[in-house]
């Protein structure tokens, strides 16, 4: 994958968390039994599980921080998240891990409930009150669908027309005929290209456009959303780790008995039936009886694997899709939304994408920062510019749509997950045909090389998918090593 000029965009408030995690030191107490690549949730959970089973484990992390795609901006007010945001009641493994590692989960539901229903809609240059949207001339939908906000249109169609009901088995071979593009599926329901562009592609949650997302991928996401809705109770949780979600992997790393070496960017992995060797870009060489790789395929494709995995597994590593996301974290000198009378949260069809108010202050209503989410093609577009130019563009666009904000916003942090060389995208996306062809083979052990990470999970997503994959891979390694 060719990276943009922003080879590695990191927050302007970037901090090395080496002082918060185990010290970086050379392994001097003998060869490990297992090497785990990656100090995110899946890698750390795997390492801890194997240590509890008596194995000596070495963790190699390419970054100079712990957490992978959990990335808390500790230097900004309220500690907003550049990575994973929230968990709910259905995140059983995650909640258990937080308790196990002494990390408190706080409920953010009262602080985030207004971000979706109360967000301001901007189409083109115009603020469109939701009450006026059904009759608006720029509304491309038809019939009763004209009453739906753009962000609710596709979900309504999926709920009504998904061609199979057992979404928990979205990956089953019985559903292979549905491994088509979301665009083809929506078109078959009578949707026009204009409707799909606004109702699915704009601020897309998966892929870059509806053409490169499998309907089975969408089914997986729908299933996970349904699981979370079914777990909702009167004690509904929309939670996060107190002080920042990155505190969870930091706490996990502190519990490791073995070494955790940061700044170890993996260049090559050699594996056979008896062991494996990891070679890093700094020239170091590490050997063990087994290697567990939690790297996303978007970055693993830049690592030499010898011998090559099976043809299908190799194809999965080289081609699995990932969602482009670039975030801008804005700080307001004054609450300009009180001046123009609109919600600080926005949904736009322009460069700002979605804007979500972060309420991490002394009360549930206090806005501590604004997060601009540029996703899909919008994220790729903004990544074409250098950091300072992209900041200027975002602030100018904000002032154009919301004149009351002019001169009152500053950019506290920027992070492009696409340009991050240790991520090269956000969460994994199956493209049309990939579930049918590649899913079964993609996480299979390759000699003494094993795979984990949210991209290999079947029943869960996000934090929970990472923990699910750690359970599976730990059993695979325990079985292989005895």
Place of tokens 């699981």: 227
338 CB burial (10 A radius; 0-12, 13-18, 19+): exposed
Runs of H (alpha helix) within 320-461: 337-340, 377-382, 387-401, 434-442
Percent of all residues in the chain with a pLDDT value above 70, rounded to a whole number: 92
| Residue 34 in domain | yes
Q: What is the pLDDT of residue 98?
A: 97
Which structural domain, as residue segments, surrounds residue 58?
A: 14-104+235-319+430-482
Q: Classify residue 303 as left (phi > 0), alpha (psi -120 to 50) or beta.
A: beta
Q: Report the alpha-carbon distance of residue 464 to residue 134 in Å, rounded.
A: 38
The whole-number average pLDDT for the span 378-386 is 97
| Residue 335 in domain | no
| Residue 26 in domain | yes
168 CB burial (10 A radius; 0-12, 13-18, 19+): middle
399 CB burial (10 A radius; 0-12, 13-18, 19+): middle
| Residue 413 in domain | no
| Residue 362 in domain | no
Q: What is the pLDDT of residue 111?
A: 74
pLDDT value at 336 more than 70:
yes
Question: What pLDDT, in 10s, does the model give residues 344-377?
Answer: 999 999 999 999 999 998 888 899 999 999 999 9
Q: What is the pLDDT of residue 228?
A: 87
Question: What pLDDT, in 10s, does the model give residues 414-453?
Answer: 999 999 999 999 999 999 999 999 999 999 999 999 999 9
| Residue 196 in domain | no
Q: What is the pLDDT of residue 12?
A: 29
| Residue 115 in domain | no
* 107: helix, strand or coil: strand
| Residue 361 in domain | no
Q: What is the CATH number of the domain that holds 449?
A: 3.50.50.60
Contact status, residue 364 vs residue 110, Cβ threshold 8 Å? yes
Number of domains in the chain: 1
The whole-number average pLDDT for the span 3-26 is 32
Pairing assessment for the beta strands 346-348 and 120-123 based on DSSP bridges: parallel
């Amino acid at each position: 994958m060719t990276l943009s000029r922003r080879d590695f965009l990191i927050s302007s408030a970037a901090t090395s968390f080496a002082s918060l995690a185990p010290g970086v030191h050379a392994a001097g107490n003998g060869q490990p039994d297992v090497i785990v690549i990656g100090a995110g949730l899946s890698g750390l959970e795997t390492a801890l599980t194997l240590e509890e089973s008596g194995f000596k484990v070495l963790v190699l992390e390419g970054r100079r921080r712990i957490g992978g795609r959990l990335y808390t901006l500790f230097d900004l007010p309220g500690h907003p998240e550049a990575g994973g945001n929230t968990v709910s009641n259905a995140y059983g493994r995650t909640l258990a891990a937080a308790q196990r590692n002494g990390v408190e989960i706080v409920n953010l539901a009262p602080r985030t409930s207004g971000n979706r229903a109360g967000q301001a809609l901007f189409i083109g240059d115009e603020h469109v009150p939701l009450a006026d949207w059904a009759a608006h001339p720029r509304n491309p939908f038809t019939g009763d669908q004209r009453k739906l906000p753009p962000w609710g249109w596709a979900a309504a169609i999926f709920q009504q027309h998904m061609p199979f009901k057992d979404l928990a088995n979205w990956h089953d071979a019985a559903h292979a005929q549905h491994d088509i593009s979301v665009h083809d599926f929506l078109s078959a329901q009578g949707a026009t290209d204009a409707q799909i562009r606004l109702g699915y592609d704009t601020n897309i949650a998966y892929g870059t456009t509806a053409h490169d997302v499998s309907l089975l991928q969408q089914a997986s996401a729908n299933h996970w959303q349904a699981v979370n809705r079914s777990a909702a109770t009167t004690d509904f949780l929309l939670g996060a780790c107190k002080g920042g979600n990155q505190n969870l992997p930091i706490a996990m790393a502190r519990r490791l008995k073995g070494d955790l070496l940061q700044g170890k960017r993996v260049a090559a992995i050699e594996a056979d039936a008896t062991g494996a060797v990891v070679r890093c870009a700094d020239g170091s060489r590490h050997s063990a009886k087994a290697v567990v790789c939690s790297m996303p395929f978007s970055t693993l494709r830049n690592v030499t694997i010898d011998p090559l995995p099976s043809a299908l597994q190799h194809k999965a590593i080289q081609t699995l899709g990932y969602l482009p996301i670039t975030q801008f974290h804005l700080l307001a000198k004054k609450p300009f939304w009180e001046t123009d009378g609109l919600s600080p949260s926005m949904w736009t069809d322009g460069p700002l994408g979605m804007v979500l108010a972060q309420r991490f202050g002394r009360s549930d209503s206090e806005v501590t920062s604004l997060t601009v989410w540029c996703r899909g093609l919008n994220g790729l577009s903004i990544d074409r510019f250098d950091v300072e130019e992209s900041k200027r563009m975002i602030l100018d666009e904000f002032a154009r749509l919301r004149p009351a904000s002019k001169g009152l916003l500053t950019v506290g942090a920027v992070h492009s997950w696409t340009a991050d060389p240790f991520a090269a995208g956000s969460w994994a996306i199956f493209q049309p045909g990939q579930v049918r062809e590649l899913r079964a083979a993609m996480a299979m052990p390759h000699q003494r090389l094993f795979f984990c990470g949210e991209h290999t999970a079947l029943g869960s997503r996000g934090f929970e998918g990472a923990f699910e994959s750690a359970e599976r891979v730990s059993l695979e390694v325990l079985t292989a090593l005895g």
